[in-house]
Amino acid sequence: MSDKKLVEAITPMAVDFAKWYTDVVKKADLIDYTSVKGCMVIKPAGYAIWELIQRQLDDMFKATGVENVYLPMFIPESLLQKEKDHVDGFAPEVAWVTHGGDTPLTERLCIRPTSETLFCDFYAHDIHSYRDLPRLYNQWCSVVRWEKETRPFLRSREFLWQEGHTAHATATDAAERTKLMLDVYADLCEKVLAIPVVKGKKTDKEKFAGAHATFAIEAIMHDGKALQAGTSHDFGDGFARAFDITYTDRDNTLQYVHQTSWGLSTRVIGAIIMVHGDDSGLVLPPAIAPVQVMVVPIRQQKEGVLEAAEKIKTQLGDFRVKVDDSDKSPGWKFAEQEMRGIPLRIEIGPADIAAGKCVICRRDTREKIDCLLDDITATVESLLITIQKEMLARATEHLLANTFTAHDKAEFIRIFEEKIGFVKAMWCGGLPCEMAIKDDLGVTSRCIPFQQEHLAETCIYCDEPAAMMLYWGKAY
């Protein structure tokens, strides 16, 4: 069997990016399909990535005072109906439970698409005094949304995520928490996942159902399409009024709490694949690579080779290291490890042992480095740091190269006819104009960036006075 067969099975991304993506998630053994339409099995290689993201994100949450809780997965229909905008926003995607065993339920239960209403019901009984605030809670769970079209990691009917839900005494406190958690998500993407993002506010059309304001981080994929990687919502006191969540203030008066929620899901694994991957498969940032270093013994049947490989593994005990001692050929092992995106490969054979060295190969650049065995720990540590930094630098360069500026309608239309990427343009702030752009060009508003630029006096599409600069793009 050809050593290259594994890679040849991947459709080149330049030929069909969507097929390339599906090929990679399958060939890298991240997911499998199931008999439940629209749902997937996250296999060990995929789940290990999620575990590393979860572990680091959880630490980042806790550093801001957040505590983990767990609430039920079922929501009574009457509870869901309490906040009209919220239920209207999620109604098309809700899955309902109508029977318990053979017995019809007296009230339908929805399987959580998100947990705002459950947290509100809980907070209404849990919060009494200003001394109880703030409540800074998060839960790790799955949610169900009955999507019509699904794609592994990017959109499935059940997916894993975290959802934070906080309650505060003042609107200012809630607004600060909303922005803080957005910053946490941006830090995770840039410092851990090596994905640069644009931070900003969603338009009223795109904001979360029932929210006062929604903020998001937007990333750009290898094919130029946008992906919303995480969101943070300021609810004001709207949910509190609907659910009667009040507290006694210091002056002994009743006040409504102000709330936030924020979430990030396994969708970010799709972002990692589409930002960093290549035609050989995954390219994983070291910070979330389940295996950071794979040691490949060459001519492993020769005396001392496997022992040398195991010794290297022991030396590199501070890293996530494995030895591939399978009976496959070295070429097959190389192709397989490239497919899985392992940041570093160490090759060690009889000639290397005799010379007191090994060969280290970087997955991201395929550069090969001769390394003395005595220097291996320091070299691996330095290379993993370098790879992490350079992956972010390359992704940032790609983001900048695929971010365009349009000063008038003709230029705006021409860019989207010829290219795919972010387009910065002025906007009037009106819904009819936003809808016209979506209907005419298949383009959606991504976010109103915090860093505003004044590009023109009038809106890019309707020539009304411009209110703000906005990022537009075609999205997943």
pLDDT > 60? residue 28:
yes
CA-to-CA separations, 150 to 33, 39, 380, 395, in angstroms, rounded: 11, 8, 39, 26
pLDDT > 70? residue 86:
no
- At 159, phi and psi to the nearest 5? -145, 160
Give the per-residue pLDDT at 85: 62
Residue of 430, 448, 6 lying closest to 215 (CA atoms) = 448
pLDDT > 60? residue 1:
no
Give the per-residue pLDDT at 209: 82
Q: Which residues contact 151 (CB under 8 A, 6 or more apart)?
A: 18, 21, 22, 270, 476
Contact yes or no for 368/361 (Cβ under 8 A): yes
pLDDT > 90? residue 7:
no
Rounded CA separation 353/308 (Å): 8
Q: Which residues contact 316 (CB under 8 A, 6 or more apart)?
A: 293, 376, 377, 380
Rounded to the nearest integer, the mean pLDDT of the chain is 93
The answer to whether the peptide bond before residue 196 is cis (omega within 30 degrees of 0) is no
Global pTM value: 0.94
Contact yes or no for 324/331 (Cβ under 8 A): no
Give the per-residue pLDDT at 133: 98
Give the per-residue pLDDT at 8: 59
Look-up of token digits 């490949």: 296
CA 51 to chain centre: 13
Query: Domains in the chain, start-ordered, CATH in brackets?
Result: 28-276 (3.30.930.10), 291-386 (3.40.50.800), 403-473 (3.30.110.30)
Tokens standing for residue 269: 């694994």
What is the CB neighbour count within 10 angstroms for residue 382? 11
Contact yes or no for 182/262 (Cβ under 8 A): yes
Look-up of token digits 């039920």: 72
Kindly indicate the confidence band of residue 41, based on its pLDDT and cuts at 50, 70 and 90: very high
Q: Is 163 helix (H, G, I), strand (E, B) or coil?
A: strand
Q: Is 105 helix (H, G, I), strand (E, B) or coil?
A: strand
* Angle, helix 17-27 to helix 267-276, in steps of 10 degrees: 110
Kindly indicate the confidence band of residue 49, based on its pLDDT and cuts at 50, 70 and 90: very high
Consecutive H or E run containing 474: none
Tell me the average pLDDT across 146-175: 93
* Sequential DSSP letters for 143-154: EE---SS-BTTT
**What are 322-369's pLDDT values in tens digits?**
999 888 888 888 999 999 999 999 999 999 999 999 999 999 999 999
Q: Which amino acid is at 359?
A: V
* Sequential DSSP letters for 330-395: HHHHHHHHHHTT-SEEEEE-HHHHHHTEEEEEETTT--EEEEEGGGHHHHHHHHHHHHHHHHHHHH
Residue of 195, 173, 178 lying closest to 186 (CA atoms) = 195
CA-to-CA separations, 467 to 200, 423, 441, 455, 457, in angstroms, rounded: 15, 17, 21, 11, 9
Tokens standing for residue 199: 């931070």
Contact yes or no for 258/243 (Cβ under 8 A): no
Rounded CA separation 219/197 (Å): 5
Q: Is 185 exposed, middle or buried (0-12, 13-18, 19+ CB in 10 A)?
A: buried
- At 149, phi and psi to the nearest 5? -120, 135
pLDDT > 50? residue 383:
yes
Q: For the chain, give the number of residues.
A: 476
* Angle, helix 305-315 to helix 376-401, in steps of 10 degrees: 70
Tell me the average pLDDT across 143-165: 91
Quote the radius of gyration of the chain (alpha carbons, Å). 25
Give percent of the chain above pLDDT 90.
86
Tell me the average pLDDT across 46-72: 98
pLDDT > 60? residue 247:
yes
Rounded CA separation 239/120 (Å): 7
Look-up of token digits 């480095």: 369
Tell me the average pLDDT across 91-117: 91
Give the per-residue pLDDT at 83: 60
Give the per-residue pLDDT at 218: 97
Tell me the average pLDDT across 10-21: 94
pLDDT > 80? residue 278:
yes
Tokens standing for residue 338: 């490239």
Tell me the average pLDDT across 50-60: 98
**What are 192-218's pLDDT values in tens digits?**
999 999 999 999 999 988 899 999 999
Rounded CA separation 349/465 (Å): 70
Contact yes or no for 408/460 (Cβ under 8 A): yes
Contact yes or no for 346/369 (Cβ under 8 A): no
Rounded CA separation 436/406 (Å): 17
Tokens standing for residue 345: 């490969």
Residue of 320, 311, 276, 303 lying closest to 45 (CA atoms) = 320
Tokens standing for residue 135: 């409540």
pLDDT > 90? residue 150:
no
Tell me the average pLDDT across 441-461: 95
Kindly indicate the confidence band of residue 3, based on its pLDDT and cuts at 50, 70 and 90: very low
Give the per-residue pLDDT at 431: 95
Tell me the average pLDDT across 433-437: 95
